Amino acid sequence: MNSLNLGSEILYLTKKDCIQTEITNLEVIQYVEEALRIHGKKELDMPAKIGIHPLEDSFMHAMPAYIPEQTACGMKWASGFPDNRKKYGLPQISALVILNDHQSGLPVAIMDGTWITTVRTAAVTAVGVKCLGNKNSETFGMIGCGELGKKHIELIQLVLPNLKEVYIFDRNHEAMNQLITEIQPKINATIKKASSLEELVKSSSIITSATVITATPQPQIRDEWIMKGHTLFLCDLHTLYEHQTINRGDKYFVDSLEQNNLFYQYGYYPDGLPAINGELGEVVAGLKVGRQNQDELIINNNIGMAVEDIVLGKRVFERALAHHIGQKLPL
């Protein structure tokens, strides 16, 4: 175990430590695409994530995975509490990633999982855009302007070479201003504040929503605004969309059939799940067909999978060890 005494110490990595490994956005997309391919071919051990819900519209999820090809083994313990910012001035999403040695089961690392969750989620959308979006799209819409929204825009520009305009919307106007201040210098496309969800939807060919996940949908995007050729990426389940929109998509993909079926049992889809064409990883692996023409309305519902966290977490761990980043703690 490269400079780590197995069984007597672990490596502890803060969020700053994870970022300090200097894994690039392109590398994150590469690692996540590989994780999705592995999942599509079912070359892993990953049960559906289970959860508890201490408060209404909150969640705490246990997400284990073992990926033999990469000898990556561990679990993410993640939570989402929408009122955190208002109550405590803290982000709604938090997480820890625990990595284990795949041969002994002993823990080798505990690291911040919040940064990993943010970048891998945006990377899943970026990979989805490559498989399901119209390749020549010049417009992208981002609903939700927190850290996840910022990272989405950074990564989307890497997979949309013709991108010219990014439309953003958030009920918190200051969040929109902060996003523009921070992200506009990093991309060539022009970021524009939409005055409403309607303006964003009608101005964007590819749309991602990363808002609060509510126990039941609270539709705010009218079906009549959604046109042929739209590609919709959902990081917040069916929260914002009307059921008729979800139901009339030409193709509806999920990241994990097993997890979405479990979420259906939890009650997150009171109107039911539509016919599912397959998993995103199956498209990445070439087992299912993605977009076939420019007029298809395609919906991709990604609720997050442990394979993405553990594959990326393993890369962070390896680079941190190699560059002497983080703190070794005794067991």
**What integer pLDDT is reported at residue 275 of this predicted model?**
95
Whether 175 and 314 share a structural domain: no
Which residues form the domain of 160? 134-304
**What integer pLDDT is reported at residue 214 of this predicted model?**
86
Whether 182 and 296 share a structural domain: yes
Whether 156 and 286 share a structural domain: yes
Whether 209 and 272 share a structural domain: yes
Residue 200 lies in a domain: yes
Whether 112 and 193 share a structural domain: no
Residue 36 lies in a domain: yes
Residue 121 lies in a domain: no
Q: 287: burial class by Cβ within 10 Å (0-12, 13-18, 19+)? A: middle
Q: Is the Cβ–Cβ distance between 33 and 127 less than 8 Å?
A: yes
Q: What's the CATH code of the domain at 165?
A: 3.40.50.720
Residue 83 lies in a domain: yes
Residue 198 lies in a domain: yes
Q: Is the Cβ–Cβ distance between 210 and 149 less than 8 Å?
A: yes
Q: What's the CATH code of the domain at 102?
A: 3.30.1780.10
**What integer pLDDT is reported at residue 1 of this predicted model?**
52
**What integer pLDDT is reported at residue 47 of this predicted model?**
94
Walking along the chain (331 residues) 10 residues at a time, the average pLDDT comes out as 85 98 97 98 95 89 96 96 88 94 97 97 98 96 96 97 98 96 98 98 98 90 98 96 97 96 91 96 98 97 97 98 96 91
- Collect all residues with Cβ–Cβ distance below 8 Å to 296 and sequence separation of at least 6: 228, 229, 250, 251
Whether 145 and 284 share a structural domain: yes
Whether 94 and 191 share a structural domain: no
DSSP letter for 196, please. S
Whether 157 and 182 share a structural domain: yes
Entry field: residues in the chain: 331
Whether 147 and 290 share a structural domain: yes
Residue 266 lies in a domain: yes
- Name the packing angle between helices 114-132 and 25-40 (round to 10°): 70
Per the structure, the count of domains in the chain is: 2
Whether 296 and 323 share a structural domain: no
Whether 294 and 153 share a structural domain: yes
Q: 330: burial class by Cβ within 10 Å (0-12, 13-18, 19+)? A: exposed
Task: Tell me which residue of 240, 238, 235, 212 sits closest to 81, measured CA to CA.
Answer: 212
- C-alpha span between 249 and 224 (Å, rounded): 13
Whether 37 and 173 share a structural domain: no
CB atoms near residue 103 (< 10 Å)? 10
For residue 294, the number of C-alpha atoms closer than 13 Å in the C-beta half-sphere is: 4
Residue 129 lies in a domain: no
Q: How far is CA 255 from CA 3, 93, 142, 297, 303, in A?
A: 36, 20, 20, 17, 7
Task: Tell me which residue of 67, 52, 119, 125 sits closest to 299, measured CA to CA.
Answer: 125
- Name the CA radius of gyration of the chain, rounded: 19
Residue 127 lies in a domain: no
> Which amino acid makes up residue 240?
L
